[in-house]
Amino acid sequence: MGSLEMRMITFVLALGALLPCGLARGSLSEPYLISGKGNNAFAFPDYALPTSSGYFTVDPLSSARLFYAFYEASEPAAQISETPIILWLQGGPGCSSMIGNFYELGPWRTASDLQLHKNEFSWNKRFGLLFIDSPVGTGFSIAEKDEDIPTDQEQVAAQLYIALTSFFSLEPLLQSRPFFVAGESYAGKYVPALGYYYFMKQKLSLSVDIELQESKEVSPKAAPFRLDGLIIGNGLTDPKVQVQSHADTAFSFGIIDMQQRGEAQEKAKEIVKLVEEEDWHSAYNARTKLLNWIQHVGGLATVLDIRRRVPYHCGADGVEFLKEFLGLNSVKTALKAEEQIVWVPCSSRVGRIMANDTMKSVKWMIDELLQHNVPILLYQGQFDIKDGVASSEDWMRTLSWKGQEAFSSTKRRLWQVGNVLAGYWRSYEALTHVVVVGAGHEVPADQGLHSQKMIEEWIQERLIQLGLSKISSE
């Protein structure tokens, strides 16, 4: 068997183990709609439509386009010009943000009945919510050629920056609104990469503006949009450090025994060695095999949440209902997505092309952003072996910024919603860390109310610091 075939088999196995997929524990109301499983049986109602959706061209020399769906705040606490907007990015690489939209934090969610249900705990209650399928080739986004698909974080960020510039140009009032970038899983790399790209872009623009002003040629240009903070949930950010936690995490949950723990630790050491040698593809394959092994010997449905009997967004019968729902022509038409696209939760094509990026760290970008006082919220659900609490704590302890010592020594506190323990938090200056009780990898799906409160309260604090209107999370 050739090496290319082996690589493809390895990648397919990786997707089988790591794709988010199952029935959520969040709030699903009684169905608003009656639908069927045929392409013509579902009529997408006007009241569930995005405020706007469609495509942004990201390369004038190709047909590459990013798909987006935007939902305005349903109950804004301030005038729209001051109402924050959150961008949501899914992980992967190559997983569609429509997972976040129709399964986790969007205003409408679907389930195995292929009906739409009002999400009482959507993040767009107080904020505008923007979903982008990134990079091109993901979800409904378009990449006709493999060469259009990014191979590293700078290219991903560049595409997003172009798309966001187009989005914030749609309406005059959009540009001045507070803006936060959020995401989970592999977006633990996308989010800081976009933040870093934004600030480097503005730094370069400022330098050019100063030179032009000195020559009295032009006035300085305003940034095309703001950036007021970053949010990462159960993120892969520093893979070399994070992979070393898998053995201890699985052992502490009782998934593996002492002997198996030793085996997992040896596998992790080999992965670290491959990373240090910059053998990126081998390191990616080895990490995939380690996680598959833990899932297999532990008898888990998914390493993303040890409690689950089926993976995320799959029904009890094992059927991937999001794929069915987003494959309906009526849904594609309503979302203004290209009907010829076959929607899949995570693109194996994008994942294959970006495989060599997987084990590269972006922690240094977090360091740079914290040094410049960019607010960052890191949160994790406690039942995730892959990108959970321990792996995040480990890399957070290695950060190098001016507040690191004070952050590490700050007392962790209980977080309650009403009389219910929702989690634990620690915060110092620009950095906040939250552990969400009763959640796995996809926190908004598992703990809808608590994730909504967490986001509303954290952004409220940022708005107060900015001197803008306070929001209410009541």
Catalytic residue among 96, 112, 134, 185: 185
Percent of the chain with pLDDT over 70: 86
Over the stretch 220-240, which tens digit does the pLDDT of each residue have? 567 899 999 999 999 999 999
Residue 449 lies in a domain: yes
Does residue 304 contact residue 440 with C-beta atoms inside 8 Å? yes
Q: Is 230 helix (H, G, I), strand (E, B) or coil?
A: strand
Q: Across all residues in the chain, what is the average pLDDT?
A: 88
CATH classification at residue 428: 3.40.50.1820
Q: Compute CA distances 91 → 37, 132, 164, 187, whole Å.
A: 28, 11, 18, 5
Domain that holds residue 186: 3-466
Q: Is 185 a catalytic residue?
A: yes
Residue 471 lies in a domain: no
Average pLDDT estimate for 384-413: 95
The number of domains in the chain is 1
At residue 469 the predicted structure's pLDDT band, cuts being 50, 70 and 90, is low
Percent of the chain with pLDDT over 90: 77
Catalytic residue among 441, 446, 450, 451: 441
Average pLDDT estimate for 195-206: 86
In three-state form (DSSP H/G/I as H, E/B as E, the rest C), the secondary structure along 77-140 is CCCHHHCCEEEEECCCCCECCHHHHHHHCCCEEECCCCCEEECCCCCCCCCEEEEEECCCCCCC
Residue 474 lies in a domain: no
Which position has the higher pLDDT, 308 or 15?
Answer: 308
Residue 290 lies in a domain: yes
- Which amino acid, residue 471? I
Catalytic residue among 133, 305, 384, 387: 384
Q: Is 384 a catalytic residue?
A: yes
Q: Which runs of consecutive H residues, i.e. helices, occur in 277-319?
A: 280-297
Residue 472 lies in a domain: no
Q: Is 219 a catalytic residue?
A: no
Average pLDDT estimate for 441-465: 94
At residue 136 the predicted structure's pLDDT band, cuts being 50, 70 and 90, is very high
Which residues 6+ apart lie within 8 Å of 87 measured at CB?
130, 131, 132, 164, 179, 180, 181, 182, 183
- Which amino acid, residue 8? M
Tell me which of 61-65, 393-397, 449-453 is least confident: 61-65
Residue 48 lies in a domain: yes
> Phi, psi at residue 65, to the nearest 5°?
-140, 145
Residue 352 lies in a domain: yes
Outline where DSSP puts E strands in 114-260. Answer: 116-118, 128-133, 179-185, 229-235
Does residue 96 contact residue 89 with C-beta atoms inside 8 Å? no
pLDDT at 379: 98
